[in-house]
Amino acid sequence: MRKSRLAIVGLGNVGQRLLELIQLKRDVLRARFDLELSVVGVCDSTGGAETAAGLDIAKILGLKRAKQGIAAYPDHSRSEMHPLNLVRADEADILVELTPTNLMDGEPGLSVIRAALARKMPVVTANKGPLVLAYPALAALAQKNGVPMLHSATVTGGLPTLNIGTRDLGVAVIEKFEGVVNGTTNYILSRMAQGQSYADALKHAQDIGMAEADPSLDVDGWDAASKLVIIANAVLHRPTTLKDVTVEGIRNITPDHLIAAEERKQTIKLVALAERVGKDYNLSVRPTRLDKTHPLARLGAGTMGVIYHTDINGTISASIEEEDPYPTAAAVLRDIVQIATASA
């Protein structure tokens, strides 16, 4: 039986769902991959816990559901444990970095990922911040030390957007990428197309937990732009930062704009676009009118979708309806399995 030890930093919604999936899919992992995963270290905002014998996932989940932190884990916890201490001291085989996205300085995820790669520890992350701010440097460090850094969950959650681009289209030239990569704005625009105002649609999205109390990253286009930056670096092989992307959000879209589009048999979506011009790409995120026949125009509320236009693989489109964090956690698990089975 292959065994792989995980150190998990960050136990928010995705981290907790990942733990649930490790439990739920234990027999599948054994049957299909001859693989057993154990969690030997965890950290959240309260502290950390670690033991080479493996932590009890049920106990961790019980603490989180009781609104307690890992510092309350019996016997093996330390309230003063910083994620960097866990990474530098832990004997895990894979770091799973799931702290909240921070587009200001990427911390604490950026330092944690750097420390793991410096130790030649493979990394799986769902955190966009470090990749948006330092993708080329992190990729170079991973390559220098001969370890993978997988991050398929950072773009469109459970939809394998990056895997399609990097693996399945690895020999192709991407002539154009189009994507509705932010489910929150697509939900809001879909509600507005039914006659709601922007304010009412946003409030409804917040009430059901789809939009944050501060929705700026979503509605101003920065979440979609961050995902486009990662696509540009990982798939298009173009060193890219947010300053390279023209960004416009949806705050100024009104029901009248959507009605006018409907009269022309069109709809409005927040589209992330990378279009090849010569040897470079023009990168933008903006509200875009699409004909109703366009694949992205047919995406329902809360759905995300992408289209790759290529030179030799034709045009490929894919979409996902993701209403909770499980598909994102499943993408993290997918990356973990890829690393664990490749290194066994």
CA distance 94 to 27: 20
Check pLDDT > 90 for residue 296: yes
Q: Which two tokens stand for residue 79?
A: 């309230």
Strands 35-44 vs 47-50: parallel, antiparallel or unpaired: antiparallel
Q: Give the pLDDT score at 195.
A: 87
Topology agreement, domain 2-158+326-342 and domain 161-321: no
Q: Give the pLDDT score at 37.
A: 98
Query: Looking at the chain, how many residues does it have?
Result: 344
Per-residue pLDDT tens over the stretch 190-218: 999 988 999 999 999 898 888 888 999 99
Per-residue pLDDT tens over the stretch 178-189: 999 999 999 999
Q: Give the pLDDT score at 274.
A: 98
**pTM for the full model?**
0.95
CA distance 154 to 101: 10
**What is the band of 43 on the pLDDT scale with cuts at 50, 70, 90?**
very high
Q: Amino acid identity, residue 47?
A: G
Mean pLDDT, the chain, whole residue set: 94
161-321, what's its fold? Dihydrodipicolinate Reductase; domain 2 (3.30.360)
**What is the band of 74 on the pLDDT scale with cuts at 50, 70, 90?**
confident
Q: What is the DSSP string of 301-329?
A: TTEEEEEEEESSS-EEEEEEE--SSHHHH
Catalytic-labelled residue, pool 227, 243, 269, 279:
227
Check pLDDT > 70 for residue 344: no
What is the helix (H) or strand (E) element at residue 47, kind and residue range?
Answer: strand 47-50
What percent of the chain clears pLDDT 90, i.e. is strictly above it?
Answer: 83
**What is the band of 278 on the pLDDT scale with cuts at 50, 70, 90?**
very high
Check pLDDT > 70 for residue 343: no
CA distance 96 to 70: 16
> How would CATH label the architecture of 2-158+326-342?
3-Layer(aba) Sandwich (3.40)
Check pLDDT > 80 for residue 272: yes
**What is the band of 308 on the pLDDT scale with cuts at 50, 70, 90?**
very high
Task: Indicate the burial class of 33 (C-beta count within 10 angstroms; 0-12, 13-18, 19 or more).
Answer: middle
**What is the band of 79 on the pLDDT scale with cuts at 50, 70, 90?**
low
What are the C-alpha distances in Å from 155 to residues 35, 235, 320? 26, 12, 12
Q: Give the pLDDT score at 15.
A: 96
Structural domain spans, the chain: 2-158+326-342, 161-321
What residue has token string 């990982």? 234
Q: Give the pLDDT score at 27.
A: 97
CB of 162 within 8 A of CB of 230? yes
* Distant-in-sequence, close-in-space partners of 127: CB < 8 Å, separation ≥ 6: 10, 97, 98, 99, 100, 101, 109, 154
Q: Give the pLDDT score at 208.
A: 83
Average the pLDDT over 29-53 and give the result: 94
* 3 has catalytic annotation: no
Per-residue pLDDT tens over the stretch 223-264: 999 999 999 999 999 999 999 999 999 999 998 999 999 999
Check pLDDT > 80 for residue 52: yes
